[in-house]
Structure 1
Amino acid sequence: MKLRSLAIAVAMSGAVSGLMLVTSAGNTAQAQETFEWKMVTSWPKNFPGVGQGPERLAKLVDEMSGGRLTIEVFGAGQLVPGFEVFDAVAEGTAEMGHSASYYWKGKAPAAQFFAAVPFGMNAQEMNAWLHYGGGLELWNELYDPFGVDVLVAGASGVQMAGWFNKEINSVDDLNGLKMRMPGLGGEVMSRMGVAIVNMPGGEIFTSLQSGAIDATEWIGPYNDLAFGLHQAAEYYYYPGWHEPTVMFEALINEEAWASLPADLQAILRTAARDVNQNVLDEYTARNNDALETLVNEHDVELRRLPDDVLAQAKKHSADVVAELAESSDMAKKIYDSYQAFQNKVVDYHAISEQAYYNARNPEGDTTSE
């Protein structure tokens, strides 16, 4: 009996070892499965800041995955036009996209809440809402019917009000101007007498230079200098009331996302979080130097928007945002979450961020020690 029991034990041990080898081989084969993706963007290839974000994301994913997931990045117009990024991802033409959600207002008007809300939350506040206030879950819920998932992948910070070919001394000076401005800010400006024109970034300079438009906003000094907008317009206005930040999005085809093993999904999420902060850091670091170059080397006229323009913009912004919130149940759901979070963070920032700025820079003093 002992010999028989020993033989059975040895046989069972061999079977278990064999099963472990087969399982291990299967896991190894799965771990080594590779994926080659395409990412289309709404930006010129390798454009500073926002255009570098998707390049960094692709590089990080390649490095962290050991080459198991590679992403080829296409600039606007290389594979699809900049304004067709969402459709390309939804239809599977590309597995990923990098863009800004207000470009899809014709498909999902409430998407504008996730890009920029005039007089709304800044980058720090938006990141908090998206990652800790339920905003990102709502963003994904909005895109679910299109078969698209989304990760946050960059922020511009507070932008500039824009470039103008004439002085703006009052609201009346806006009447009849043709201006490139997307999203909710564009709707606000249209109610102030501006004819709004939408176009991808790559078309802005020639349109402004030729007189097809009289004014434009883009992002801020770093990108505006790169586009050479100072060669096409004389006056540079602030503050960027219309875009206290733009949050950039990494769009992912739902089926492509589901095809990834869990570790590659985690790598992609981690890379997006890195890029999200990195893009904002780069803008914060580069904008001031670029602004000094524009003013000191290119004699750009830096102007603050008149108080009556800002007051009118704020009034119309409240109406535009309220109307969007009432346009659908989903829009109302997103707006309620956004507004509740903004109310809380504004209360805290009044005694933290804003109080510190006021103490650091007394009224009328815009210099630092």
Structure 2
Amino acid sequence: MNMRKTLAVAATVLALPVLTASAQETYKVGSSLGLTGYGSLTDGHWRDGLELAIEAVNAQGGVLGRKLQLVHEDNKSTPQQAVVGYRKMMSEDKVIAFDSGCISAGNFAAASFVSKAKLPMFLCSILPRQADEQKWAFSFLPPPKFEVDARYAYLKEKTDIRKVGILSDPSPYSMLMRGIAEKGAAEFGLTVVANETYQQDDSDFSVQIGRMNAAGAGAIIMLGQGNAVVTVANNMKALGLNKMLLLGSINETDILHSTGKIIGDQYLFPAALIQIASDDLSVIADPASRAAAEAFVKAAKAKSGTADSAQAARAWDSIMMLAAAIKKANAVDGTAVRDTFEKLGQFKGAGASYDFTPEQHVGIINNPYVIAVVKDGKLALKK
């Protein structure tokens, strides 16, 4: 072999590892999740939905010739840990975007430096407060007013109850809803006769419930996610309050079942149709929405045998929309992805229908909630 051929072969061999490494590169999506602490169940399901969607996108070839990869950090349900995790994923993992869980305080704490880095944030939580931060954040959470309105409308239309008590935790999401609930009661002919608070790790709510009962409240409007609602139900049962209704917040299906087992149809809650439809897709009338839900349900049941999480469905939708935006923009640059995402138009997903625009970064604009109960071990529409 002459010198020229030898050099050519050597150059080809040296190039092979570079080509192989390039082919294995991925686009990383970061996620700040409360995998421990009070948000663990909710954010655990958000992570599950992200993973399912990324697997589905990658099975179809990924985006722009590369696979997506999820990297996540446990924020321990605290804003301090969220900041640490966000910074790590930006500096070390070089993520192209964030798709984070439902811990509003953690997402708020990181929003300033994430927006300055021009990285889109897709969130299970409400939007951060500052306008320049909101330009980079997109919320997949239905507006809190929808959740309050669904409960108030039920009381007005289906019951004789006109006095309610509010029980809320101190999270940003709950505090926002508390203001909405206080101001919006009169619109439905209701009066708030008691306003109580609690901490997520409280082990007893008897005092707060007793004060609401003494004030004449016929229903408790509970504002806050997590297992605290189970404790409230146990307290109500122990106090013999078998006529008082408990209208809880949106929650994970496991928690809904646990609470319903304690006080039966005294416990009502707003639920997304996907939570009820996981065993009966026919409850979703729109064909496009039903097809999206079917894809999610099929993937979720193949993975874990269940598909009962509204959070997981919306997480799935967020990744599907991110992938669509990247493909349409033909780029992963943060500004290009954000601008394209704003212009995707109506997107009918598994968990809801979304209508993001440059002016509208809360994607769910029509109330997706129905009032549900636990019946015969399953979630059912309250008639």
Q: TM-score with structure 1 length normalisation?
A: 0.39
TM-score in terms of structure 2 length: 0.38
Larger radius of gyration: 1
**Which one has more relative contact order, counting CA pairs under 8 Å at least 6 apart?**
1
